[in-house]
Structure formats: structure tokens, C-alpha cells
């Protein structure tokens, strides 16, 4: 079996991005299961085609995308991706779409098929805060989540896709008016627990 886990590069003037940095801390194997990792650009168009290409090339059995949410107090497991790009700030290529559908003929929203409640319990059992979220936003994170879910539908069998938002690291939080933070090691531990719970359900 194979799992695809993606994160993002830095953006918005914040040094580093825990969603990309934590990939280096995740194991390459989880028991007999291979973990393929990829850092995506914070660019709407490029991130969309890169996540679609990763799914079609790697043919993973499960996909977990990660992103940064400044202000988050826990690992946030996203329930739904919506068909909308509405950027509060330009991406790293200067694109700032407003009220733009991701796919003109796509569904308004798609729910993640992963066992999110079970994953949340596993993360908490590992001593890491976790909560469910009903909005992945309308920035590049949601764009990647939506494209991944749509691409998965075209594969046989379609792999389940999920998205988890991560808090700032303590170092980043100091530069952001002491916003909530979580150590990278805690994020790693929580993500390993989440992956194990998701894989157990397959």
C-alpha cells in the first residue's frame, strides 16, 4: 500500500511552513506502507495540477494533504472542500482570484470520505489536540483539497482524500503576536496516529 502526504512551501511573509516542514519528520514507511511526500507551491494553478499529477502518477491508496492555518489551536480535520477560489491575499505568483469556481461544472462541495472522527480520537489519544472543521477556507489549501477529491474520483479504485490544517510552530507564533502554536514533533505524532487510524479503516 502507498500513502501520499502533501504540504506547502512558505507564503504570506511567514518564515517556513509546518505543513511542508513536518514531512521531513514523517517516516518513509509506516509498517509495510510506503509514505510518499511532496511539497506543493502556494500557487493556485500550479498546486492544482501538481496534486492531480501526483495522484495519477503515484496511484496512492490514501491521500492526506496538509496546510497551515494561522490561529489554529489544534490539528483541524477538514470535512469538506468547496468549489470556490476567493483569496484574501495573493498567492506566491501574485494571483488573487475572487469568487472564481475551481471547476466550472464541478459540484459545489465534496466531503472527505476519511473516518475523521476516528482519526480525531486517535490524534487525541496520542496526546495531541485535534478538532473537526467545517471549512477549509477559500485559499490554496481548499483548492488543493477540492482538486485532489475530484481527481480521486477518476481513479480506480478512488483513494480516500483528506485535509488537515496545522497550527503555527512556536517560533512562528512569536513573530505573529503570540498566536496559538504547536511543536513540530507534536504535529508529527498526531499525524502518524491519524494515518494509522485512517489506514485501519481501509
Residue 7 has pLDDT above 80, yes or no: yes
Lowest mean pLDDT among 8-22, 60-74, 86-100: 8-22
Cis peptide preceding 99, ω within 30 of 0: no
161-199 tens-digit pLDDT? 999 999 999 988 887 666 899 999 999 999 999 999 999
Mean pLDDT score across all residues of the chain: 96
Fold of 2-200: Aminopeptidase (3.40.630)
**Whole-angstrom distance, CA of residue 170 vs CA of residue 14:** 13
92 Cβ contact partners less than 8 Å away, ≥ 6 residues apart: 9, 11, 41, 42, 43
Binned at pLDDT 50, 70 and 90, residue 6 comes out as: very high
Which residues are tagged catalytic?
Answer: 78, 141, 165
pLDDT value at residue 175: 74
pLDDT for res 176: 66
Q: Strand 75-78 relative to strand 161-166: parallel, antiparallel, unpaired?
A: antiparallel
Each residue's pLDDT tens digit, 122-133: 999 999 999 999
Amino acid at each position: 500500500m502507498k500513502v501520499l502526504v502533501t504540504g506547502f512551501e512558505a507564503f504570506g511573509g511567514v518564515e517556513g511552513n509546518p505543513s511542508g516542514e513536518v514531512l521531513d519528520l514523517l517516516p518513509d514507511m509506516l509498517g509495510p506502507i510506503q509514505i510518499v511526500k511532496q511539497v506543493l507551491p502556494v500557487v493556485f494553478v500550479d498546486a492544482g495540477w501538481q496534486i492531480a499529477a501526483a495522484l495519477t502518477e503515484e496511484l496512492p491508496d490514501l491521500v492526506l494533504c496538509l496546510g497551515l492555518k494561522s490561529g489554529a489551536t489544534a490539528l483541524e480535520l477538514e470535512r469538506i472542500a468547496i468549489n470556490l477560489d476567493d483569496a484574501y491575499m495573493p498567492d506566491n505568483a501574485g494571483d488573487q482570484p475572487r469568487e472564481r469556481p475551481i471547476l466550472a461544472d464541478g459540484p459545489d462541495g465534496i466531503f472527505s470520505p476519511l473516518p475523521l472522527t476516528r482519526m480525531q480520537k486517535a490524534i487525541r489519544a496520542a496526546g495531541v489536540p485535534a478538532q473537526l472543521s467545517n471549512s477549509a477556507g477559500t485559499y490554496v489549501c481548499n483548492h488543493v483539497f477540492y482538486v485532489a477529491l475530484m481527481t480521486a474520483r477518476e481513479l480506480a479504485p478512488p483513494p480516500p482524500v483528506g485535509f488537515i490544517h496545522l497550527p503555527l510552530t512556536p517560533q512562528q507564533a512569536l513573530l505573529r503576536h503570540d498566536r496559538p502554536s504547536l511543536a513540530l514533533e507534536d504535529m508529527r505524532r498526531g499525524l502518524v496516529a491519524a494515518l494509522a487510524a485512517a489506514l485501519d479503516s481501509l
